[in-house]
Amino acid sequence: MTSIPDGFGRVESKIDGITVYAPIARADQIASPQNFKCPNCGATTAFDPRAASVTCANCGSVYALHAQRVGREAAEFEFTVDTLNSALRGWGVTRRDLNCENCGATTSVGPTELSTTCPFCGSNRVAARAAVPDAFRPRFLIPFQIERAQCQTLARAWLQRGWLYPRDLMNMARSAEFTGIYLSFWTFGARVRAAWRAQVGYERQENYFDVNKAKFKTRTVIDWRWENGNITVPFDNQLATATSHIPARLLERLKPYNLDALVTYEPGYLAGWRAQSYEIALNDAWDRARAEMREQTRQAAYAEIDSPHVRDFSMNASFDDEVWRLILLPVYLTTYRFQNKTYQLVINGQTGKVAGDKPVAWTKVWLIVAALLLPGFVLAGLGLVLAVVGGAPLFLIGGLIFVGGAIIAVYLLQKAMQAGEA
Ligand SMILES: [Zn+2]
Ligand SMILES: [Zn+2]
């Protein structure tokens, strides 16, 4: 009979007849992680980005999470029926789903959270129900590192950039409520092997006899010939959004996430935070990722061709070593209404990077456009008048002033339009 060392406990063994002991994780002592009650005082605990642990706001207890830091080498699944069947489902903890009747988003909240607002659209028309654990469980996540208290400062700094925005926007930022939410992302890897074939054109100088001018001249001609080649492009950790309630272009602007910070999923990280299960299914996300990898492979093949002239390009691509995983990334989300339109503002919960759509103050923009165009128009008008009333010399001067004024006007209009888009 072996004696069990202090702090060790028996765990489930994968091999018959062999008993396995492992250190008893302190996280297991946070009751059964079915609820996030503080073992010390019974209050509700929450994950605290500053302490990188689960803490109790009531008694100050800190409970370390025993997740493993795995980084970008985190294990991946192959696309086999086996891995799909064996993948765990649900959050591994009791949570509730909030269904928004306005935008249709489902948000996962803690079992005791009394929340009635949809973070994606700001609507109060939400209905809560028990979560059905049918979706894949995320295997890894990046914990929140930015605290909620920092969000308004980050948002204000972002809104202040540029000057064509309505002044009330700052008041909006001051009163904005940020929701910390773990969003689901798929990551994909694959090796793409492609065989391509195309007509490649090479420039050549040629002498010819110009019949009209009755002399020899040179001209450039392109000789086309068929070429082919093979190319292998490895793809690793391609992030694919899994929510359909934040535009992909906004999430794209939140990148990069530093995947070195990936840890194994522990339900404790979700304590006190919202989460959203994937809305874009694995197969659909994979189809999009494949199309993207194909396009990048095509560009890599083009880059290998030693000429800018390519036509009739065709490519046969095969995908090997295809792998996927489901991860959670931290995002702060707020919505605000401006002139009957809802705007989303998102913040990368790891880096603090901000992305969103800003309303444009169009009256301001058009006043500026008008002010900028005025000198050009005045000059052009003056030139036109001179040209009409004057004799030959005045006509010439007027014409020059007109053309100059028109050029300035067009240039200023372009500038003004760019300023409006910034
Ligand atoms: Zn406590
Ligand atoms: Zn909603």
Separation of alpha carbons 162 and 47, rounded Å: 35
pLDDT at position 224: 95
pLDDT score, position 18? 55
Q: Where are the domains of the chain?
A: 1-64, 69-193+229-305+316-359, 363-421
Ligand nearest to the CA of 63: 1
Distance of alpha carbon 200 from its chain centroid, rounded?
A: 37
Q: Tell which residue, 36, 1, 26, has the closest CA to residue 271.
A: 36
**Residue-averaged pLDDT of the chain:** 85
Token pair of 322 as six digits: 């295809």
- Give residue 339's pLDDT: 79
pLDDT of residue 31: 35
Dist. CA 61 → ligand 1 center (Å): 5
Q: Residues with beta carbon < 5 A to ion ligand 2? A: 100, 102-103, 105, 118, 120-121, 123
pLDDT value of position 276: 96
Q: In angstroms, what CA-CA distances link 53 with 67, 146, 250, 331?
A: 10, 14, 29, 18
Q: How far is the CA of 106 from the centre of ligand 2 (A)?
A: 8
- How many angstroms does the Cα of residue 55 sit away from the middle of ligand 1? 8
**Predicted pLDDT at 244:** 95
Which ligand places an atom closest to the C-alpha of 100?
2
From CA 235, how far away is CA 242, in angstroms rounded?
A: 19
- What are the tokens at 347? 């913040």
Q: 330-356 burial, b for 16+ CB within 10 Å, e for fewer?
A: bbbbbbbeeeeeebbbbbbbbbbbbbb
* Per-residue pLDDT, 328: 97
State residue 28's pLDDT score. Answer: 38
**Nearest ligand to the CA atom of 125:** 2
**What pLDDT is attached to residue 352?**
96
pLDDT, position 136? 93
Instruction: Name the burial class of residue 149, with classes exposed (0-12), middle (13-18) and buried (19+) by CB atoms within 10 angstroms of its CB.
Output: exposed
Query: In the chain, which residues have pLDDT < 70?
Result: 1-35, 162-164, 361, 365, 392, 416, 418-422
How many whole angstroms from 282 Cα to the centroid of ligand 2? 23
Task: Report yes or no: 185 and 348 within 8 Å, Cβ to Cβ.
Answer: no
Integer Cα distance of 199 and 270 in angstroms: 55
**What is the pLDDT, as a whole number, of residue 16?**
54
Q: How many Å lie between the centroid of ligand 2 and the Cα of residue 62?
A: 34
Taking only the tens place, the pLDDT of each residue in 267-314 is 999 999 999 999 999 999 999 999 999 999 999 999 999 899 999 999
The one-character DSSP state at 208 is E
